[in-house]
Structure 1
Amino acid sequence: MTQTVTLGFVIFPGFPMACLTSAIEPLRAANEIAGTRAFRWRVLSETGEAVTSSAGVVFAPDGILSDQTELDHVFLTSSPDGAFANVTKATAFLQRHLRVGKSLGAFSGGIFPLARTGLMDGHPISVHWCYDAAFAAEFPKVTPVKTVICEGEQRLTVAGAAAVFDLMLSLIEKSLGPEIMTEVACWFQHPFVRTGEVSQKTPSLTTATTTDTMPKQVSKAIQMFAEHIEDPVQIKDVAAAVNMSTRSLERNFRRATGESPLKYYRLLRLKQARQLVLYSSDTLTEIAYSVGYSSTSPMLNHYKEVYGVTPQEDRKNRNSFRVTDGSCLPSV
């Protein structure tokens, strides 16, 4: 007889609804296909009060996190703003959960409230690429990886809703076998099952492609740019590193991206600056230095040129798009 696996999904105001449905639906299908209650789940919150998702849909939780006694897995899902009101009580519960050998994890922005408990210090985690700069700034003791799923010691973290579906398929395979896992995937026309080793895809800043589909030398140059945000490198040094002349890199880069390497590099740094503007409380001076500007003024000018608003206006506008309980809407 298959042992029932019980999962608790902890939702915070502004959480991405897609992550929750991507977790529950494959489990529901697996139970139906197998003809048994192999999986149970409970939607939880810190207080038991209704929680509004990033889409504005209101969810009534099944219970309060700290009241639970039979959870095998606990997953947090949230916007980057998510935090426990009583972090001491929540952390104590999660510590007890780990002590009895159970697993703990987070979906997408849920990694922020989980990391704020300190329980991820020293553990590798998956952080969605759209949050990586803000996360690194707030949690220097936590090691992010670029994969869609990160499985560590009693810890499972996932970047994005599609990857949540992949993780659930993996749990289904472990409990019910590969045949039922495959049938669940086919029910939802899920094209393929990604393991934890698959890297996140990131969009090109200037074309309708992903960076991994670009010519190898251009992709490597972009990777070098991404690794040198705070300490910018010279274009000529990047060209030498990818075994091209500066002129050849310029020509190939424009062909692949529509922009010069210098302009693309600046856009990459501004993208990271915008993450910090929207998802951190760092000052503009701190943000400017962290993305390679020697002073604030040039960043402010470039930011407005690219995004049409100043960083101050962008942060203010973002804070105005909130659900009624005060949590920010943007989440993935």
Structure 2
Amino acid sequence: MNKHPAHKRTLVFFLVPNFTMLPFSAAVETLRIANRMLGYPAYEWRLSSVDGEKVSSSSGIAIEVNTSLAEERRNISGEHRPNMVLICSGIQIEDFNNKSVHAFLRETYNRGTAVGSLCTGAHVLAQAGLLNGKRCAIHWENLPGFAEAFPQAEVYADLYEVDSNLYTCAGGTASLDMMLNLIGQDFGEALVNRVCEQQLTDRVRNPHDRQRLPLRARLGVQNSKVLSIIELMESNLAEPLSLVEIADDADLSRRQIERLFRQEMGRSPARYYLEIRLDRARHLLVQSSMPVVEVAVACGFVSASHFSKCYREVYNRSPQQERAERKMTLSSARAGVAA
């Protein structure tokens, strides 16, 4: 245990509209339990927002905050300077673009204070220019759009990443793991184990553990050859492999692959490959403002027209309609909040 019982760490949780409750509450509760096990408030925190007003989460629950952005900008150079600032966000993060927040994050980081994010908050850190050349993590659903929007960031589908005083996690229960890592740094493994017991957590996950279920569990597929081919496909979406190249890699004939996919997936390998490329395209359409032609290229289509034709066949609407429907959904959501 830390030899300095007066050791304290202050965190600021900066709430972005539509933030996700699970990673936020998991992080706060992990720190609260650590305090209870220690017998004193080693971790203190406050909540902040742009204007100091309460913030609605994606579940519709509004959370009161303690400070505004202006107050926190004053705090970083005074006696209330935090040890860490964490951006808490969730859905529709692509629509949040606040230059004052970016400036605050850069100033905080440049003063030596740790900066981080929960769930999709890496998007805000990247907008602020803090993730160029840095390892980071973001929720798997947002990873395609993030990677296209911020090519200078080294983004991974990990639970969390720590790089040069920058802490990013994928959200969900991964924020629990990142907080346990922080507690371990401060107080050692014994306290981490006690916190885990209180949380009914059976182990501390490795930061590089996968975010998503393994393909075998996710798809209900048992054939190892089919699983390895699907992994190969998922790793080559921008420049799709030919069936001949896939067959060579899998050490199977084209006919064998065709038969296996019909048996296990109920469709041809070409059709399945097309569907996962279109799925990535859909994520890019709803998560980014990339032109449709760039989305097409990023997902391995030779032309925007061919991409649109395939997209309509699978989703019964064009890429343009997909994006328009998203904008309408956002407008309706904002109108509901305003009401």
Q: In 2 relative to 1, CA 175–156 (structure 1 residues): closer, same or farther, beyond 3 Å? A: same
Q: Which residue of 2 aligns with 1:12?
A: 16
> Residues of 2 paired with 1:115 and 1:52: CA distance?
23
Task: Give 1:29 deviation, angstroms.
Answer: 1.3
> Residues of 1 paired with 2:335 and 2:82: CA distance?
27
What's the secondary structure of 1:109's corresponding residue? Answer: coil
**Structure 2 counterpart of 1:98, which letter?**
Y
Q: Which residue of 1 aligns with 2:277?
A: 269
What's the secondary structure of 2:246's corresponding residue? Answer: helix
> Residues of 2 paired with 1:261 and 1:213: CA distance?
14
Q: In 2 relative to 1, CA 67–2 (structure 1 residues): closer, same or farther, beyond 3 Å? A: same
TM (norm. structure 2) is 0.86
Q: In 2 relative to 1, CA 59–284 (structure 1 residues): closer, same or farther, beyond 3 Å? A: same
Task: Give 1:123 deviation, angstroms.
Answer: 0.8
Trace 1:292-311 onto structure 2 (pairs within 5 A): 292-311=300-319
> Paired residue for 2:251, among 240, 243, 267?
243
Q: Which residue of 2 aligns with 1:252?
A: 260
Task: Give 1:173 deviation, angstroms.
Answer: 2.4
> Residues of 1 paired with 2:252 and 2:332: CA distance?
54
Note the residue ranges of structure 2 that are not aligned, 5 or more in a row. Answer: none
RMSD (Å) for aligned C-alpha atoms: 2.7
Task: Give 1:245 deviation, angstroms.
Answer: 2.0
- Higher alpha-carbon deviation: 242-251 or 8-17: 242-251
Aligned length: 324
Q: Which residue of 1 aligns with 2:122?
A: 111
> Paired residue for 2:63, among 59, 62, 66?
59
> Residues of 2 paired with 1:154 and 1:162: CA distance?
21
> Residues of 2 paired with 1:214 and 1:73: CA distance?
44
Task: Give 1:141 deviation, angstroms.
Answer: 1.2
Say whether the 8 Å CA contact 2:102–2:127 is kept in structure 1.
Answer: no
What's the secondary structure of 1:201's corresponding residue? Answer: coil
> Residues of 2 paired with 1:254 and 1:41: CA distance?
54
> Paired residue for 1:222, among 230, 246, 258?
230
CA deviation vs aligned residue, 1:223-251 (integer Å, no higher than 9, x gap): 32223212211012112112222223333
Q: In 2 relative to 1, CA 169–327 (structure 1 residues): closer, same or farther, beyond 3 Å? A: farther
Report whether the alignment pairs 1:68 with 2:111: no
CA deviation vs aligned residue, 1:105-141 (integer Å, no higher than 9, x gap): 1122111111111111111111222112111221111
Note the residue ranges of structure 1 that are not aligned, 5 or more in a row. Answer: none
Say whether the 8 Å CA contact 1:108–1:128 is kept in structure 2.
Answer: yes
Q: In 2 relative to 1, CA 228–297 (structure 1 residues): closer, same or farther, beyond 3 Å? A: same
Q: Which residue of 1 aligns with 2:131?
A: 120
Q: In 2 relative to 1, CA 29–229 (structure 1 residues): closer, same or farther, beyond 3 Å? A: same
Trace 1:28-47 onto structure 2 (pairs within 5 A): 28-47=32-51
**Structure 1 counterpart of 2:75, which letter?**
Q
- Higher alpha-carbon deviation: 230-239 or 76-85: 76-85
Q: Which residue of 2 aligns with 1:26?
A: 30
What's the secondary structure of 2:120's corresponding residue? Answer: helix
Highest relative contact order (Cα 8 Å, sep 6+), 1 or 2? 1
Say whether the 8 Å CA contact 2:106–2:128 is kept in structure 1.
Answer: no
TM (norm. structure 1) is 0.88
> Residues of 1 paired with 2:96 and 2:217: CA distance?
35
Report whether the alignment pairs 1:322 with 2:320: no
Say whether the 8 Å CA contact 2:281–2:296 is kept in structure 1.
Answer: yes
**Structure 2 counterpart of 1:143, which letter?**
E
Q: Which residue of 2 aligns with 1:83?
A: 96
**Structure 2 counterpart of 1:226, which letter?**
E
- Higher alpha-carbon deviation: 273-282 or 173-182: 173-182
Task: Give 1:93 deviation, angstroms.
Answer: 2.8
**Structure 1 counterpart of 2:96, which letter?**
A
**Structure 2 counterpart of 1:285, which letter?**
V
Say whether the 8 Å CA contact 1:82–1:112 is kept in structure 2.
Answer: no
CA deviation vs aligned residue, 1:273-328 (integer Å, no higher than 9, x gap): 00111011122222222211222333333323333433233223322333888499
> Residues of 1 paired with 2:58 and 2:84: CA distance?
23
Indicate the structure (1 or 2) with the bigger Cα radius of gyration: 2
Q: Which residue of 2 aligns with 1:199?
A: 210
